[in-house]
């Protein structure tokens, strides 16, 4: 699987925690349905009010679907290495 980062606006740590809870549930549901999506971790840039959620998945589209199911208002999804 490939790594992807979802970039989103995140004004507070609490907001990030809520987003992560929803995206974990969405990722688990998709995996149960046959599309393996794994939430890996988040990175919050407090001064920029920006968060990156890191995933492993077969495609950016799969990550996008998990993000939509989690009702994330994201800026972009990019392939990530690291």
What is the residue extent of each domain of the chain?
2-79
Digit-coded pLDDT (tens) for 14-59: 888 899 999 999 999 999 999 999 999 999 998 999 999 999 999 9
Fold (CATH) for 2-79: Alpha-Beta Plaits (3.30.70)
Cα-Cα end-to-end distance for the chain? 13
Which residues fall within 8 angstroms of residue 12, CB to CB, at 6 or more apart? Answer: none
Instruction: Report pTM.
Output: 0.91
- Asked if 66 and 37 count as a contact pair (C-beta separation under 8 A), the reply is yes
Residue 82 pLDDT class (50, 70, 90 cuts)? confident
């Amino acid at each position: 699987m490939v790594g992807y980062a979802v970039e989103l606006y995140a004004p507070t740590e609490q907001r990030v925690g809520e987003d992560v809870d929803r995206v974990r549930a969405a990722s688990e549901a998709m995996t149960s349905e046959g599309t393996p999506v794994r939430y890996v971790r988040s990175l919050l840039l407090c001064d920029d009010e920006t968060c990156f959620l890191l995933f492993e998945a077969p495609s950016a589209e799969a990550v996008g679907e998990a993000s939509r199911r989690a009702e994330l208002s994201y800026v972009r999804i990019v392939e990530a290495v690291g």
